[in-house]
Amino acid sequence: MKKLIFVCLIALSAMYAEVLKVGATPIPHAQILKEIIPDLKKEGIDLQVVEFTDYVTPNLALADKSLDANFMQHQPYLDQINKDRHLHLVSIAKIHIEPLGFYSKKIKSIGALKNGATIAIPNDPSNGGRALILLDKQGLIKLKDPSNLYATEFDIIANPKKLKIKSLDAAMLAKSLDDLDGAIINTNYALQAGLKTKDALFSEGKDSPYANILVVREGDANKPSILKLKKALQSQKVKDFILKTYQGEIIPAF
């Protein structure tokens, strides 16, 4: 009888659990979120992870209330899409850092990069500017203002190797490496393609300020379910999971 009552209570709990839909790119964001599903279940929350392969759609889905939160971007990208799409989304927590890296299948060292080589960078404004800043730091190009995160190819004032800069969708960069001399790729897409930070010829330092963030609509930051999600994502369990799973490829930001 007691066992039956216990089973019924579990069933009722599941039936009345609050559904929380969170958008994420598959690696590492969705992986991290799936780690906390059991923890949130104990809190009466049914965490449903909705996977996306781009950065725009999960923000639009959050804005139109198809999602309750998303976890797949850094603050400068959020600032830019809020401005461009007239969205009202806010960051409520920093979770981890993913350094940008330069990858190539054709050369083993940056010194082997030939004049006129074709290099691809992300085509979204913040990550594109971030990639150009990384090229500037390596001395491959010179920017008018190396601190301008939204720099474009028009801000290049010196290009001694006459590099051809090609802008591609971030999700396509790793898939296009065979046709390029190199590409600057976001860590999440590099991991999905089986690349590791150690494979990069150069990358951002671990002090990169571009932490990936948990994002919600304005006015939702203090909802009980959102606060529970935030607490779970910034838990010691998640920190240990990131350190153990990604072995330095991704760094906790809390």
Model confidence pLDDT, tens digit, residues 175-196: 999 999 999 998 889 988 999 8
| Alpha carbon distance 155, 51 (integer Å) | 35
What is the arithmetic mean of pLDDT over 137-150?
94
Burial (0-12, 13-18, 19+ Cβ within 10 Å), 54:
middle
Strands 118-122, 182-185: pairing kind = parallel
Q: For the residues 62-68, what does the mean pLDDT come to? A: 98
> Which of these ranges, 36-50, 142-156, 166-180, 197-211, has the smallest mean pLDDT?
197-211
Say how far apart CA 126 and CA 77 lie, in whole Å: 5
What pLDDT is attached to residue 131? 96
Cis peptide bond upstream of 28, omega within 30: yes
Predicted local distance difference test score (pLDDT) of residue 1: 57
- Per-residue model confidence as pLDDT tens digits over 200-212: 999 987 667 789 9
pTM of the model: 0.76
So what's the pLDDT on residue 248?
Answer: 81
Measured distance CA(214)–CA(87) in Å, rounded:
16
Longest dimension (CA), the chain: 80
Q: Is the pLDDT of residue 2 over 80?
A: no
> What pLDDT shows up at residue 191?
87
The yes-or-no verdict on residue 13 having pLDDT over 60 is no
Q: pLDDT > 90: what percent of the chain?
A: 81
pLDDT beyond 80 at 55: yes
What per-residue confidence (pLDDT) applies to 249? 83
User: Could you tell me the two tokens for 172?
Assistant: 């396509």
Cβ–Cβ under 8 Å, residues 72 and 127: no
**Over 70: is that where the pLDDT of 111 sits?**
yes
What's the whole-number mean pLDDT along residues 113-129?
Answer: 94
Kindly report the average pLDDT of the chain as a whole number.
Answer: 92
